[in-house]
Chains A and B, each alone.
Chain A
Amino acid sequence: MKIRTMNDLYAARQAGIASLYPAKTKFTVSTATCGLATGARPVLDAVKEEARALGADLIVSQAGCIGFCEVEPVVLVYCAPGLTLVYKEMNAEKARELVREIMKGNAKSEWALCKILVNGTTDGKPAGPSRETARWLELASGIPAIEDVGFYRKQMKIALRNCGFIDPNNIEEYIARGGYTTLHKVLSQMPPERVIGEIKESGLRGRGGAGFPTGMKWEFCRKAPGDEKFIICNADEGDPGAYMDRSILEGDPHSVLEGMIMGAFAIGASQGIIYVRNEYPLAIENLTTAIRTAEARGLLGRDILGSGFSFAIKLSRGAGAFVCGEETSLMASVEGRTGEPRQRPPFPAQKGLWSKPTNINNVETWANVPEILARGGKWYAGIGSEKSKGTKVFSVVGKVKNTGLVEVPMGISLREIVFDIGGGILDGRKFKAVQTGGPSGGCIPERLLDVPVDYEKLTETGAIMGSGGMIVMDDRTCMVDVARYFLDFLKEESCGKCVPCREGIHRMLELLENICQGKGAEGDIELLEDIGAAVKDFSLCALGGTSPNPVLTTIKYFRNEYEAHIKDHKCPAGVCRALISYSISKEKCTGCGACVKVCPAEAISGEKKKPHALSPAKCIKCGACEETCKFGAVLVT
């Protein structure tokens, strides 16, 4: 049944509301990749089985990720009109009990993360609170509201607006939350120039990391002469520890499709391509379903929404080359050639895919578009800092308490992200640095934690905004080792075409490996700086051009650590094996023998209940004893 008019859309929306906010109790399990990895599948099965066993009249549904990875698997229970209770750290057993308790009318507050109350009776919202809602609110009085949970308090969801709250495979639920309604407005009332005008006014900049103004990019492509134009969605997310795009594609694929249709209309493109890495099987599955459903409902393909505008989207799967996230390599890969960059100009807007004008944006950028056109460029421009507007999604990982996917308004400080949202450092350790932008980014030290999240301000520190990876490091992280880690990643991910990137990364890596092994020499730091500057200047594409950033920023902010490695042959963080030694404190050791059992080299000996001793000659420095010791008696020096 094709949707062609506003009335058709309205009907679909009613169906969506009925499934989003049903009259019955609904259990929704977050089954994005992050949830599945922590055991959401058995939880889902348990909920279904228990419901069947009880003969309970309830609905079981699935959704994407609500962002709080630390507490997965998560189950959302829609228990009364407008009220959703969110339960954390579920397993099959707890899930069964939860179903029983909820059906008995118990809120099970001790397992809850938060409650979400949506008020109102307008379109896209559930029916107003009823007596049932009031009863459940009373039952759930001990559960904090989502706005009061530290992880969510400072967040603002635009790109992630639907993630975790709708079934990604149900187009009607997307429509119920306003989806495709703006598309109707755009196609029926807005000339392409006005669409571009709104995007320009919003100040939206590319969320892939470089931050080029999106509206301007669209305008170049619209004005470029050509009988056929292309739109590309770059979903080749490859930074270690980054999964913003995956979450959007898994949890809300239609927001990306809708954004692309709007962009295609503005630019005059008839064909779109989503380049997604094959390591994202669930994202590919959900995207494929979304494209098929949208086509079946007349929202994609020929004559969209009866407007006469036609646009098709194809998936192109990448084979996991990091460099294919670079736009010219990506296009080469789509064409079936080796994924290698070429010099720009010509820019894709002039000569892109198949030598036709092409506009390429990443997943998060596309997901923002429908919301901007729905609420206006001015609204979006009101959020954020002077030059960076709107919100940005980050995946906060590493040594932080609340790992997860967060969306924050631009201009918020790094400190707020790490400490207020992230909850600070694990195990009460000390914060050392935060790494933004993946292998292209840099490490920002504590004294710069008040720097706002803003394209220019982050670039000033030597790091970059990047696509949103944010790795938090504590005082047990060696910064030389971090730089070494990223270059080790890049030595194989550089395509190898140009000399500075291929050879320069390898030479910097050699130097860093030497330093980590205590073979560093006087002058190595300066040589690293020289190589870094030249690789930045001379590389063909952005992969090479930003590859020295992890090295240069760690030298800039943690030079003393490099010097300690080179001059004193010490690794202050106790990471570089060649430079550390283990010993046992006679005062602290209780002689429990736990370390003796885990030592694979039989390097620890001693009588029971008497301080043990460690033989440095036998020790292989694996660190197993330190991890095992409950008394802090294993010393690393």
Chain B
Amino acid sequence: MPSLTIDGTQATVESGSTVLDAAKKLGIEIPTLCHHEHLLPYGACRLCTVEITQRGATRLQAACAYPAEEGISVRTNSSRILKGRKLMMHFLLSRCPDVPAVRKKAAEFGITRPRFAPKNEKCILCGMCVRVCNEVLGASAIGFADRGIFRRVEPAFAQPSEACLGCGACTFVCPTGHIQMESQTRDFWRDKLGAEQRQCRYARMGLVAHKVCPRSFQCQKCEVDQAMEETLKTHPAFVARPVERKLPVTIEEFTVMPQLYFAKNHLWLKRLDGKVKVGIDDFARKVISRVDDIVMPSAGDTLSRGEAVWELRSGGRTLSLRTPLGGRLIDVNTDLLTDPSLATKDPYYRGWLALVWPREEEWRETAGRLQSGRAAEDWFASEAERLYHWSEPAGKAMAADGGRLIPDLPGKLSETQWKALTGAFFADV
């Protein structure tokens, strides 16, 4: 628990807190504009800039993104800070002179009219829409285009995005009203999808397993939707996946990634614009310890669910993995051929195995068997339990130091034990 000083007052905060969190705890107000409690620190508006003194050196840093480190001393209200913040606010008001939220914020600084030539923009580029779409929904349907003064928020190539869930979280978080739910996306779906394929936005967000929209995506006319919104009192996206889920969670010794789906044979799946990326999860990584060689199918092959397609070799042992999802294999990670150890070094990113393009109904059927979010965490906990107490005698070898996996497990087990272990944990999809 680090302890720091803010404006002369000592505070002890939980580790992992930011300077802004610490100030809040002390009741010291620091203005913010691009900060959102459900999103990761971003540090773009710079209104929360403070003076941080550490080991004799003073630097100006954004309180929302700076970690509350042991022994630092923070000043939130020096004249240098106040003067700079005011200028930042001038910049913002001159950019968006007609936006009520910006005018209100500016008024807090005693600024009522723009100091520079007004640009009459509606967007302050706080990035909340982009971040909620990426961090909370995992959809990444919108992003920033261009640089510098030409920067703007757009779907890729300014075309309606197939990745858009139509959830409306971007419009919900937008502080200026710039981001409006484009009817384009929903029109596009109405034209493209048959009546029975029109998934409700709650289903697209993963809040309910499957629900078809009977109203052609006119959510404001939908009683279920309106009732949900009233009950939740916030955007459903934040209920489905509050921000702590965005950060990796450690269950026993295993890292569980939010936003990923997990299959029973310890493969993760991530949906990207209709395609699905597959890789091994941290449980499989810890069990196999290291990978010397990988056998993979070639891109272009058609996979059917349950087919054994990957072989991970470690020493003399082989871990054979079935695919939890059928479809066309459109890409394989060729980096693994030159460096198979990537699969265990970085299983969730660079160590991915395959990119599969399933048919929509195949995905829907598979998705029902997969775990995600809190359910995935519970499942990891039970798998860990099962592994630590796995049947004699190998179970003892594993649990020797109090229920942790011993390194290089494949090398420590006999062939029969290894077969039994992989049969128990990696056979079922």
Q: Is the CB of A534 within 8 A of B148?
A: no
Q: Select one of B45, B91, B117, B350 contacting A504, CB under 8 A.
A: B91
Q: Is the CB of B44 within 8 A of A345?
A: no
A245 to B415 alpha-carbon distance, docked (Å):
55
Using a CB-CB cutoff of 8 Å, which residues 479-512 of chain A contact chain B? 490-500, 502-507, 510
A354 to B95 alpha-carbon distance, docked (Å):
36
Using a CB-CB cutoff of 8 Å, which residues 63-95 of chain B contact chain A? 65-67, 69, 80, 83-84, 87-88, 91-92, 94-95
Using a CB-CB cutoff of 8 Å, which residues 346-401 of chain B contact chain A? 346, 349-350
Q: Is the CB of A495 within 8 A of B147?
A: yes
Nearest CB of chain B from residue A495's CB, rounded to whole Å: 6
Nearest CB of chain A from residue B255's CB, rounded to whole Å: 12
Known: A503-B92, A507-B91. A338 touches B44 (CB 8 A): no
Size class of the contact patch on chain A: 35 or more
| Interface residues of chain A: helix, strand, loop or mixed (majority) | helix
Nearest CB of chain B from residue A467's CB, rounded to whole Å: 20
Question: Does A103 lie at the interface of the complex (its beta carbon under 8 Å from any beta carbon of B)?
Answer: no
Q: Is the CB of B151 within 8 A of A537?
A: no
Query: Which B residues lie within 8 Å of A323 (CB)?
Result: 147
A227 to B342 alpha-carbon distance, docked (Å):
12
Question: Does B326 lie at the interface of the complex (its beta carbon under 8 Å from any beta carbon of A)?
Answer: no
Nearest CB of chain B from residue A496's CB, rounded to whole Å: 3
A496 to B151 alpha-carbon distance, docked (Å):
6
Q: Which chain A residue has the least Cβ–Cβ distance from B144?
A: A338
Q: Is the CB of A537 within 8 A of B84?
A: yes
Query: Which A residues lie within 8 Å of B157 (CB)?
Result: none
Nearest CB of chain A from residue B202's CB, rounded to whole Å: 29
Using a CB-CB cutoff of 8 Å, which residues 251-307 of chain B contact chain A? none
Question: Does B61 lie at the interface of the complex (its beta carbon under 8 Å from any beta carbon of A)?
Answer: yes
Q: Which chain B residue has the least Cβ–Cβ distance from A527?
A: B115
Known: A498-B46, A499-B44, A537-B49. A345 touches B88 (CB 8 A): no
Nearest CB of chain A from residue B109's CB, rounded to whole Å: 13
Question: Does B125 lie at the interface of the complex (its beta carbon under 8 Å from any beta carbon of A)?
Answer: yes
**Count of interface residues, chain B, beta-carbon cutoff 8 Å:** 40
Q: Is the CB of B67 within 8 A of A345?
A: yes
Nearest CB of chain B from residue A315's CB, rounded to whole Å: 14
Q: Select one of B88, B148, B150 contacting A538, CB under 8 A.
A: B88
Known: A345-B67, A510-B116, A510-B117. A534 touches B88 (CB 8 A): yes
Q: Is the CB of A343 within 8 A of B41?
A: yes
A538 to B83 alpha-carbon distance, docked (Å):
11
| Interface core residue of A321, A345, A497 (most chain B CB under 10 Å) | A497
A507 to B92 alpha-carbon distance, docked (Å):
11
Q: Is the CB of A496 within 8 A of B91?
A: no
Q: Is the CB of B49 within 8 A of A492?
A: no
Q: Is the CB of A343 within 8 A of B46?
A: no
Query: Which B residues lie within 8 Å of A530 (CB)?
Result: 83, 87
Query: Which A residues lie within 8 Å of B319 (CB)?
Result: none
Query: Which A residues lie within 8 Å of B45 (CB)?
Result: 498-499
Interface digits, A150-179 against B, CB 8 Å rule (1 contact, 0 not)?
000000000000000000000000000000
Q: Is the CB of B345 within 8 A of A343?
A: no
Question: Does B138 lie at the interface of the complex (its beta carbon under 8 Å from any beta carbon of A)?
Answer: no
Question: Does A228 lie at the interface of the complex (its beta carbon under 8 Å from any beta carbon of B)?
Answer: yes
Interface digits, A537-576 against B, CB 8 Å rule (1 contact, 0 not)?
1111000000000000000000000000000000000000
A227 to B347 alpha-carbon distance, docked (Å):
13
Question: Does A18 lie at the interface of the complex (its beta carbon under 8 Å from any beta carbon of B)?
Answer: no
Q: Select one of B61, B148, B345 contacting A496, CB under 8 A.
A: B148
Question: Does B340 lie at the interface of the complex (its beta carbon under 8 Å from any beta carbon of A)?
Answer: no
Nearest CB of chain A from residue B91's CB, rounded to whole Å: 4
Q: Select one of B66, B147, B349 contacting A493, CB under 8 A.
A: B147
Q: Is the CB of A537 within 8 A of B95?
A: no
Question: Does A3 lie at the interface of the complex (its beta carbon under 8 Å from any beta carbon of B)?
Answer: no
Q: Is the CB of B148 within 8 A of A343?
A: no
A343 to B60 alpha-carbon distance, docked (Å):
11
Question: Does A578 lie at the interface of the complex (its beta carbon under 8 Å from any beta carbon of B)?
Answer: no
Nearest CB of chain B from residue A43's CB, rounded to whole Å: 40
Nearest CB of chain A from residue B165's CB, rounded to whole Å: 21
A506 to B67 alpha-carbon distance, docked (Å):
31
Q: Select one of A343, A496, A497 contacting B150, CB under 8 A.
A: A496
A345 to B55 alpha-carbon distance, docked (Å):
15
Q: Is the CB of A354 within 8 A of B350?
A: yes
Q: Is the CB of A537 within 8 A of B60?
A: yes
Question: Does B143 lie at the interface of the complex (its beta carbon under 8 Å from any beta carbon of A)?
Answer: yes
Q: Select one of A227, A342, A493, A540 contacting B345, CB under 8 A.
A: A227
Identify the 10 closest CB pairs spanning chains A and B, nearest first. Answer: A496-B151, A503-B91, A343-B65, A534-B84, A494-B148, A534-B87, A492-B148, A538-B46, A343-B43, A496-B148
Interface residues of A (CB under 8 A from B): 227-228, 312, 321, 323, 338, 342-343, 345-346, 354, 490-500, 502-507, 510, 530-531, 533-534, 537-540
What are 8 contact pairs spanning A and B, CB under 8 A? A343-B66, A346-B67, A496-B125, A496-B146, A497-B127, A500-B84, A534-B83, A537-B49
Q: Please give 5 more A-B residue pairs, beta carbons under 8 A apart, in addition to A343-B62, A343-B66.
A: A342-B43, A346-B67, A354-B350, A506-B149, A539-B46
Interface residues of B (CB under 8 A from A): 41, 43-47, 49, 60-62, 65-67, 69, 80, 83-84, 87-88, 91-92, 94-95, 116-117, 125, 127, 143-144, 146-151, 339, 345-346, 349-350
